[in-house]
Structure 1
Amino acid sequence: MASGDHYFSSAPESEMNLRPFTAHLAGRTYELVTANGIFSPERVDMGTRVLLDHVPSPPPGGQFLDLGCGWGPLALTLALESPHATVWAVDVNTRALDLVRRNAEKLGLTNVNPVTPDNVPDDVRFTTIWSNPPIRVGKNELHNILERWLPRLEPGSDAWLVVQRNLGSDSLHRWMQTTFPELTTTRVGTSKGYRVLRSRSHAEA
């Protein structure tokens, strides 16, 4: 990355250099495209891999959210496994969104919407949320992100998050339990230094 580039920058300063790579998603290996100036550009990062190893198959349909999508491993997996769902791939990094768009096209997926946060319609509610959230933006900003999106879960639906243990997963877990009384947040897995958290929205009476 250029000195001014961060994967949570909205517009990386460096010139985009596209290059091919292979990724294993939804049980198959695919030829995709990546670039500099994004998070984990060459591979499915370890946290995302741990999350994928722990989440159950997504519902067959509905509105899905990949929060902090990067080049799209979670969004593409959701779209491949649930072709009748609409997958919102959300990131502030416009280069990452461009890569999600390119990769969805390469896979022939028409059910992926790569958008910035403000371009998700306010009335959309989510049947599931998968996220490897951007912990390094700082605690306050991370809390703001989760406060914006987790309340948009449909009743009876789940959000799945993966957080590195030494970057505050346990304190985040406690904060989520306190902040979202309408959700039941539990730790459902630990692997390779990461925690997988599940937040289930209470079903309507």
Structure 2
Amino acid sequence: MTADHYFTAEPDAPFRRGEIEFNVAGRDYRLAVASGVFSAGRLDPGTAVLLRKAELPGAATEGTLLDLGCGYGPIANVLASEAPQATVYAVDVNSRARELTTENAAALGLAGRIRVAAPDEVPDDVTFTEIWSNPPTHVGKAELHAIMERWLPRLAPGGIAWLVINRNLGGDSLHTWLVAGGWTVERVASQKGFRVLRVTRNSAD
């Protein structure tokens, strides 16, 4: 075990490499992972539920997508594979996560369409047709809300955010908070203790 968390900007843990394999929508993925990055031992169960239960983009999807808290890049690489006409921003505070995402995108031939960035490196004028996130619930409710308040308003008109939250780590309270904040929230799935939420702007906005 390491004291580092996946929201640590510069992990102190020794760089111990590994690989994981998983399948999404009939495609096989093999990604490089390392210590000091979230869920380095396996595809995180919440991420797996999100990729299985949310509506993946398709070949006709255009625009700019966001993988918020990308880790080593499983969501970003799936999005870029499924939506070859879209650009994907892969954003994470963890420098080691960004390094791995860059490596994995290159290995899969997706480097030209995945833009890996720290949060402050995303241009202010970029908006997103879709936001995908397995957000860091362990940072605490206040910080989680701050993350949502920073990024959800960057949805383009008609855009959709897909979130997966552990039910026991605030999934239902986040749902309630988002609705109170003026978002339309639909729980599209509940599996293995995780809620998959589809978030859009209220039609009146």
Common fold: TM-score over 0.5: yes
State the TM-score, normalizing by the size of structure 1.
0.93
Q: 1:57 aligned to 2:32? A: no
For 1:31, what is the secondary structure of its paired residue? strand
For 1:87, what is the secondary structure of its paired residue? strand
Identity of aligned residues (%): 52
Q: 1:69 aligned to 2:33? A: no
Write the letter of the residue equivalent to 1:84: Q
For 1:83, what is the secondary structure of its paired residue? coil
- Bigger mean CA offset, 23-32 vs 96-105: 23-32
Deviation of the 1:26 alpha carbon: 4.1
RMSD: 1.6
Residue of structure 2 in register with 1:95 after alignment: 96
- Is the Cα–Cα contact under 8 Å of residues 20 and 43 in structure 2 kept in the other structure? no
Residue of structure 2 in register with 1:195 after alignment: 195
Residue of structure 2 in register with 1:126 after alignment: 128
For 1:77, what is the secondary structure of its paired residue? helix
Write the letter of the residue equivalent to 2:18: R
- Bigger mean CA offset, 195-204 vs 135-144: 195-204
- Bigger mean CA offset, 28-37 vs 102-111: 28-37
For 1:32, what is the secondary structure of its paired residue? strand
Residue of structure 2 in register with 1:15 after alignment: 14
Residue of structure 2 in register with 1:44 after alignment: 43
Structure 1 unmatched ranges of 5 or more = none
Deviation of the 1:174 alpha carbon: 0.6
Write the letter of the residue equivalent to 2:196: V
For 2:126, what is the secondary structure of its paired residue? coil
Give, in whole Å, the separation in 2 of the partners of 1:119 and 1:199.
Answer: 24
Q: Of 173, 176, 195, which aligns to 1:174?
A: 176
Residue of structure 2 in register with 1:31 after alignment: 30
List, as ranges, runs of 4+ consecutive aligned residues in structure 1 with deviation greater than 6 Å.
none
Deviation of the 1:17 alpha carbon: 2.2
For 1:29, what is the secondary structure of its paired residue? strand
For 1:16, what is the secondary structure of its paired residue? coil
Give, in whole Å, the separation in 1 of the partners of 2:24 and 2:99.
Answer: 19
- Is the Cα–Cα contact under 8 Å of residues 64 and 88 in structure 1 kept in the other structure? yes
Write the letter of the residue equivalent to 1:49: A
For 2:80, what is the secondary structure of its paired residue? helix
Deviation of the 1:16 alpha carbon: 1.3
Q: 1:116 aligned to 2:121? A: no
Deviation of the 1:188 alpha carbon: 1.3
CA shift digits 1:54-112 (9 cap, x unpaired) = 11121511110011111111111100001111101111001001000000000000200
For 1:48, what is the secondary structure of its paired residue? helix
- Is the Cα–Cα contact under 8 Å of residues 155 and 204 in structure 1 kept in the other structure? no
